[in-house]
Amino acid sequence: MSRVGTLPVQIPGGVTVTVKDGQVTVKGPKGQLTRVVEKRTRVEVADQVATVARDGEDREARARHGLMRADLNNMVVGVSEGFEKRLVLSGVGYRAQMKGSQTLNLSLGFSHPVDMEVPEGVEIATEGNTNVIVRGIDKARVGQVAANIRGYRPPEPYKGKGIAYANEVVRRKEGKSGKK
């Protein structure tokens, strides 16, 4: 039995969940998200509570049951509160700044600056020169954009230079043992 899938999703005030033609639509104060209902599952909405049911007990049905419930919950939280990922740049000369409203400019120790276009549905802001904040209503998209930014220069284990998540612990290694 899926532990996540059996939990009901509470729908806060100001948020509406509609199921129609195999799609679930969630509207809220921050926007609207639509998703196809996973096969072997069905979404039911009643009295500000959404539940996800499945049509079998095999492995695939149980997996899709939990996935659909988690995605539905993320959609409800996204349109009501939104999601945010914070990144921190560490290193001499590493900095981030916005060029206009749709381009993030990163100086990461390469011979050239890295310009990244801000994808639709995501907002990027900078605090100071070394903090980048990625915000949006779609949890998967926010996480993917943050991972793409981090991918330009992941933190390295010797000096800790690079782009890390704000809550990430970078495991540090000792340098050469012969050096004293």
Same domain, yes or no: 88 and 150: yes
Same domain, yes or no: 152 and 111: yes
Same domain, yes or no: 25 and 97: no
Same domain, yes or no: 97 and 45: no
Same domain, yes or no: 161 and 92: yes
Contact between 147 and 85 (Cβ < 8 Å)? no
Same domain, yes or no: 101 and 117: yes
Q: Is residue 175 predicted with pLDDT exceeding 90? A: no
Same domain, yes or no: 44 and 106: no
**pTM for the model:** 0.90
Q: Is residue 174 part of a domain?
A: no
| Closest C-alpha among 3, 5, 4 to residue 55 | 5
Of 7-11, 48-52, 115-119, 172-176, give the lowest mean pLDDT range. Answer: 172-176
Strand partners, 5: none
Same domain, yes or no: 17 and 62: yes
- 37 phi-psi bin (left φ>0, alpha ψ -120 to 50, beta other): beta
Q: What is the CATH number of the domain that holds 35?
A: 3.90.930.12
Q: Which domain holds residue 51?
A: 9-80
CA-to-CA distance for 9 and 15, rounded, in angstroms?
A: 12
Q: Is residue 117 part of a domain?
A: yes
Same domain, yes or no: 161 and 87: yes
Q: Is residue 171 part of a domain?
A: no
What total number of domains does the chain contain? 2
- Residue-wise pLDDT tens digits, 61-76: 999 999 999 999 999 9
Same domain, yes or no: 97 and 57: no
Same domain, yes or no: 93 and 129: yes
Q: Is residue 164 predicted with pLDDT exceeding 90? A: yes
Q: Which two tokens stand for residue 123?
A: 């907002």
- Residue-wise pLDDT tens digits, 78-102: 999 999 999 999 999 999 999 988 9
Q: What is the pLDDT of residue 34?
A: 96
Q: What is the pLDDT of residue 2?
A: 57
Same domain, yes or no: 114 and 145: yes
- Residue-wise pLDDT tens digits, 2-47: 588 889 999 999 999 999 999 999 999 999 999 999 899 999 999 9
Q: Is residue 51 part of a domain?
A: yes
Q: Is residue 64 part of a domain?
A: yes
Q: Is residue 1 part of a domain?
A: no
Of 62-66, 106-110, 162-166, 176-180, give the lowest mean pLDDT range. Answer: 176-180
Q: Is residue 179 predicted with pLDDT exceeding 90? A: no
